[in-house]
Amino acid sequence: MELDFESFVLAAATTSLEDEPAARPHADAIEFRMDLLDGDRDPLAALEAYDGELPVIATNRTEREGGDASQGPRRLDVLRAAAEFPAVAAVDVELATVTGERNEDGVEGILPHVRTHNAEVIVSTHDFEHTPRNRLSELLGRTSEYGDVGKVAVTAQDPGDVLELLRATHQSSSGETPIATMAMGEAGRHSRVVAPLYGSKIGYAPVDPAQATAPGQYDLATIADLIEGLQ
């Protein structure tokens, strides 16, 4: 399956691919949060059994960036294997992993491996404390340098943080690489609706609002309606 990130993609974030039928009326893709699975469940077995219509974004997020996966070869091996499934259209890899900033074993060759299997690479960075206003353009540039999509998620403390994120989004959206931005937290919640107007190409929302995978997410049906209403 393929995803066209030249157009906006709304991804239903979930820990279970069994949510795909419920996501289908509203979403363009399903983000499979493999790191949030119960310990005795095998994400690769879930991908093997997947027969849904929506393309999959495979994510195995580290603990340092809001996930539940320990750093190391096993986490990255799961991402490599996920890319080999035809249903997986994109794989999310953290910027700090790609650049070696965290000295994570097993990162060598992961980006070429993903692309060899016809999946896109989303290179992402997350800040769960604040919005680094002076570094937003730099971060978007760095994630775009390594990824087929560059993703920056920050935490807004006030509307000014959102304004700076939207400004950086607008400025960076004219580049060759698609970008995705969002401000987490209540102060930044509305960014998930308006960021697409400024050039952000991916939005995330849970099918069930009780199962949000990041602070400030709208449920899938609500954000789909809000974004459609602004087009």
Q: What is the pTM of this model?
A: 0.93
* Residue range 178-187, pLDDT digits in tens: 999 999 999 9
* Helices and strands: H and E segment counts in the chain: 9, 8
Measured CA to CA in angstroms, residue 97 lies from 13, 92, 125 at distances of: 22, 11, 10
pLDDT of residue 212: 65
Sorted by sequence, the CB contacts under 8 Å of residue 127 that are 6+ apart come out as 153, 154, 155
Sign of CA dihedral 69, 72, 74, 78: positive
Confidence band, pLDDT 50/70/90 cuts, at residue 201: very high
Q: Which residue has the tokens 């991916």?
A: 202
The catalytic site residues sit at 126, 151
Structure tokens at 133: 């206003």
Contact 173, 199 (CB under 8 A): yes
Q: If you average pLDDT over residues 151-176, what whole number do you get?
A: 96
Rounded to whole angstroms, the Cα distance separating 160 from 33 reads 30
Q: Which residue has the tokens 């954000």?
A: 223
pLDDT of residue 73: 83
* Chain mean pLDDT for the chain: 92
Confidence band, pLDDT 50/70/90 cuts, at residue 214: low
pLDDT of residue 84: 97
Please indicate whether residue 2 or residue 115 has the higher confidence score (pLDDT). Answer: 115
pLDDT at residue 165 tops 90: yes
Sorted by sequence, the CB contacts under 8 Å of residue 226 that are 6+ apart come out as 193, 218
Nearest one of 184, 192, 152, 185 to 168, comparing CA atoms: 152
Q: If you average pLDDT over residues 22-27, what whole number do you get?
A: 95
What's domain 9-124+188-230's architecture? Alpha-Beta Barrel (3.20)
Question: Quick one: what percent of the chain has pLDDT higher than 90?
Answer: 74
* Residue range 66-125, pLDDT digits in tens: 888 887 788 899 999 999 999 999 999 999 999 887 766 667 889 999 999 999 999 999
Q: If you average pLDDT over residues 139-145, what whole number do you get?
A: 96
pLDDT of residue 219: 87
- CB count within 10 Å of CB 49 equals 10
The kind and range of the H/E element at 124 are strand 120-126
| Beta-ladder partners of 90 | 57, 120
Q: If you average pLDDT over residues 201-215, what whole number do you get?
A: 81
Confidence band, pLDDT 50/70/90 cuts, at residue 65: confident
